[in-house]
Structure 1
Amino acid sequence: MPPLPHPVAPLWPKDDGGAAFRMAMPPVIAKRADFLAASRALRQGTPGFLLQARDRGDSGPFRVGFTCSKKIGNAVMRNRAKRRLREAARLHLPQGARQGWDYVLVGRPEATATRPFADLCRDLTAALRKIHS
C-alpha cells in the first residue's frame, strides 16, 4: 500500500525557493548613497512612520527602502517594525507609487511597531497621495 500524502501542503513550492514572494516585493534600495539622496528630497510625516520620496529622473521601476534606528528599541522591536513596514509597502505601494521614484519608509519610536496595521496602511496611502499632489 503506498504512503498517504502529507495532510498539510507547504506554503511555497520547494523548487522555486520562495520566488512567488520575492516577485511580489518591489525592488529594494541597497546603497547608502540612494538612502542619503532620498533623505534630502520630499518628506511626508505620518503618525506611524516618515516617508521620504525622490524622483530619480529615469523611467525604471520604483524602489523602496526601510530604516529603523536604535531609537525604535532593541533588535526585536526594530525587526518587527521593519517587517510591518515591508508588508504595508508590498500591499499598498504598487497602487500609489510612480515609476522612476525611490521611497524610504523610516520607522518612528513607540509607533511603528505598535500602531494597528490597518492604520499603517492608511498612513502609507495618505502619504503617497500628499507626496504626489
Structure 2
Amino acid sequence: MTQRIETLANRPDFLRAARAGRAHAPGFLVQGRKRREGEPADPDLIRVGYTCSKKVGNAVARNRAKRRLREIARAVITTEGRPGWDYVLIGRPELTATLPMDQMRADLSRALQKLHG
C-alpha cells in the first residue's frame, strides 16, 4: 500500500526526530519516531526530512545528495514507512552522492526494519 508523504520543514520536528531512534546505513543515517496523539499533523501521514551538513561538500554536492535521498525516500518510505511516523535522512560525506541507487534503496529498507523492529 502506498502512503502519502510530506516534507518536514520546521526545526522542532527535526530535533524531536533526533532524540528518537536511529539506524545507520553506509550512505546515510535514518532517524525516526512515532508521533504522539496530540500533535497537529495528520495521523495517516508519513513525514520525511532531509539534511546534509557542510561536511558533505559545497552547495552543489549537498543538493545532489539531498536529491538522491528524496528519490530513495519516494521509492521505499512510501511503501515501507509507517503512517504517523516522522523520518529524517541525513547524508554522509562522499558516500551519499556516490553509492549505487539500488544499494541505497536496500539500505533504507533495512534501516526502516531496524527502526520499526
TM-score of the superposition, structure 2-length normalised? 0.90
Please give the root-mean-square deviation of Cα atoms over the aligned residues, in Å: 1.3
In the alignment, which residue of structure 2 is the partner of 1:13?
A: none
In the alignment, which residue of structure 1 is the partner of 2:36?
A: 57
Structure 2 unmatched ranges of 5 or more = 38-42
2:50 corresponds to which of 52, 63, 66: 66
2:10 corresponds to which of 31, 42, 46: 31
Structure 1 residues 73-130: Cα deviation after superposition (integer angstroms, max 9, x where no partner): 0111100000000000011101111111000000011110111111111111000011
- Larger Cα Rg: Structure 1 or Structure 2? 1
Paired residue total: 110
In the alignment, which residue of structure 2 is the partner of 1:80?
A: 64
Structure 1 unmatched ranges of 5 or more = 1-23
In the alignment, which residue of structure 2 is the partner of 1:48?
A: 27
- Runs ≥4 residues deviating over 6 A: none
Comparing 64-73 with 90-99, greater Cα deviation is found at: 90-99
Query: Which of structures 1 and 2 has the larger relative contact order (alpha carbons within 8 angstroms, sep 6+)?
Result: 2
Paired with 1:74 and 1:30, the residues of 2 have a C-alpha distance of 21
Structure with more strand by fraction: 2
The percentage of counterpart residues that share the same residue type is 55
Query: Are residues 1:90 and 2:69 paired?
Result: no
TM-score of the superposition, structure 1-length normalised? 0.79
